[in-house]
């Protein structure tokens, strides 16, 4: 029997259901009967940073070529007969997949034929088909994709930044790997990674929209195959607290210079908590949000445009704050950001600025509950990081200025700041 738990939130007047399926898979269903569409995500805790791992049954870590997780994502859609995209074409569902630094997800959205589309998802993800011949064919395809991204400014400015911030952590490697690294991938490597990470105990299925728990479980009970619970251990990289370098530039065909300014963060544990993530988000809104004095100053001087944004870039074994955008003078943008950080450290954060940022992000978080795509993907992150979807609402409600000031002490350290710039040819 599967264990079903209802998670309620009084503020939202809403609830979702978590089912620990008898096969080991965690299933999360958020019924929204008033919606006309449904969105489903089937994810595994396996991303591009997982280049060295071992199971609880192994003595030594296994090292695999960089880019294997992304390569496996591409190959899983294939079968001996009809590939998954061709099957989805018959149900009318829109399907896709993505590999990030820490997870791989397969997804679809549909207005009709939900049950048929869900069964395609559960079927093809559980039945890999790799041969050396098809692997070699894919190496050429992904090799071209890697070369294509070498000319994408947004991609290059980010990975250039990661390369000068991180000494050893695999987060600095392109998610797709390199042409050389993917040439080392074999069918045997893919099967080894699949059997390790695509264990149902290491996965989650999230469904949001016009569906019911009963409907999802009917397909799950019929198609999910029993998995033996195997613990997967990631190898923790020896990553110095310092940055590698503080500046890097590259020339590409852009009309205006693009920049990423990163502040590497020090920490004692490999994973950042939900509170740390939310506190940092509030802090960044105070410092550089649309209503901040820094944003107004940068904009009035013509140093940024509407592409300017901030991000807390964090995952297993890495964390940094990133400011990004376009500017005729990225170095001046960096100087003004550093000056604002120093001013706030000296004078403190204004209570009104804190409340404005908290309420704005609190409201934005509530609005996201209307977006079934966002909710389904958010559930995957929640499960893998060990918190519930509604937890963030309680954090926004109860956070204080002193919480943000304490968080500020551990972030945005000036001697851990690096600048990556893409200049026009």
> Which residues are marked as active site?
73
Element (H, E) at 48: none
Question: Pseudo-torsion of CA 70, 238, 189, 135, nearest 10°?
Answer: 40
**Burial group, residue 423, by CB count within 10 angstroms (0-12, 13-18, 19+):** middle
Q: What is the spatial distance between Cα 285 and Cα 363, in angstroms, rounded to a whole number? A: 13
Residues 6+ apart with CB under 8 A from 73: 97, 98, 99, 104, 106
Strand order in the sheet with 38-44: 3-9, 14-20, 26-31, 203-209, 38-44, 104-110, 94-99
Q: What is the spatial distance between Cα 59 and Cα 271, in angstroms, rounded to a whole number? A: 24
Q: Measured in whole angstroms, how far is the alpha carbon of residue 168 from the centre of its chain?
A: 20
Q: What is the spatial distance between Cα 417 and Cα 334, in angstroms, rounded to a whole number? A: 9
Residues 6+ apart with CB under 8 A from 393: 9, 11, 12, 362, 365, 366
- Whether residue 200 contacts residue 227, with contact meaning beta carbons closer than 8 Å, is answered with yes
Residues 6+ apart with CB under 8 A from 353: 286, 292
Q: What is the spatial distance between Cα 29 and Cα 206, in angstroms, rounded to a whole number? A: 6
Tokens representing 176 are 């797709």
Q: Measured in whole angstroms, how far is the alpha carbon of residue 91 from the centre of its chain?
A: 28
Q: What is the spatial distance between Cα 54 and Cα 6, in angstroms, rounded to a whole number? A: 34
Closest CA to 281 of 165, 164, 350, 364: 364
Angle at 360 between CA 359 and CA 364, to 5 degrees: 115
- Whether residue 40 contacts residue 376, with contact meaning beta carbons closer than 8 Å, is answered with yes
Residues paired with residue 315 on neighbouring β-strands, in sequence order: 318
């Amino acid at each position: 029997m599967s264990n079903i738990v209802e998670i309620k939130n009084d503020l939202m007047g809403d609830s979702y259901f978590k089912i620990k399926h008898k096969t080991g898979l965690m299933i999360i269903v958020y019924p929204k009967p008033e919606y006309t569409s449904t969105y489903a995500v089937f994810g595994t805790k396996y991303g591009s940073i997982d280049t060295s791992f071992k199971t609880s049954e192994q003595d030594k870590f296994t090292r695999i070529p960089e880019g294997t997780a992304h390569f496996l994502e591409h190959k899983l859609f294939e079968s001996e007969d009809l590939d998954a995209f061709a099957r989805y074409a018959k149900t009318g569902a829109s399907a896709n997949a993505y590999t990030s630094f820490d997870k791989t997800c397969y997804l679809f959205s549909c207005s009709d034929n939900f049950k048929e589309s869900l069964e395609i998802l559960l079927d093809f993800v559980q039945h890999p088909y790799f041969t050396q011949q098809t692997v070699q064919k894919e190496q050429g395809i992904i090799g071209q994709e890697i070369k294509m991204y070498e000319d994408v400014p947004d991609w290059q400015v980010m990975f250039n930044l990661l390369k000068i911030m991180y000494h050893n952590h695999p987060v600095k490697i392109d998610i797709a790997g390199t042409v050389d690294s993917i040439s080392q991938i074999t069918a045997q490597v893919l099967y080894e990674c699949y059997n390790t990470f695509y264990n149902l105990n290491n996965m989650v299925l999230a469904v949001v929209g016009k569906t019911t728990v009963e409907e999802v479980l009917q397909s799950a009970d019929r198609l999910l195959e029993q998995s033996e619970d195997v613990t997967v251990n990631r190898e923790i990289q020896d990553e110095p607290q310092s940055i590698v370098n503080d500046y890097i530039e590259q020339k590409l065909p852009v009309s205006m210079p693009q920049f990423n300014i990163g502040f590497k963060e020090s920490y004692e544990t490999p994973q950042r908590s939900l509170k740390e993530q939310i506190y940092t988000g509030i802090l960044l809104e105070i410092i550089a949000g649309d209503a901040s004095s820094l944003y107004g100053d940068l904009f009035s001087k013509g140093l940024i445009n509407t592409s300017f944004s901030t991000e807390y870039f964090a995952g297993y074994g890495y964390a940094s704050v990133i400011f990004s955008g376009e500017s005729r003078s990225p170095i001046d943008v960096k100087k003004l950001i550093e000056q604002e950080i120093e001013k706030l450290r000296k004078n403190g954060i204004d209570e009104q600025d804190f409340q404005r940022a908290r309420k704005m992000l609190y409201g934005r978080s509530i609005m996201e509950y209307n977006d079934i795509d966002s909710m389904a993907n958010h559930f995957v992150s929640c499960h893998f990081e060990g918190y519930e979807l509604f937890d963030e609402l309680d954090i926004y409600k109860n956070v204080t200025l002193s919480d943000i000031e304490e968080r500020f002490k551990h972030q945005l350290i000036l001697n851990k700041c690096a600048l990556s710039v893409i200049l026009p040819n």
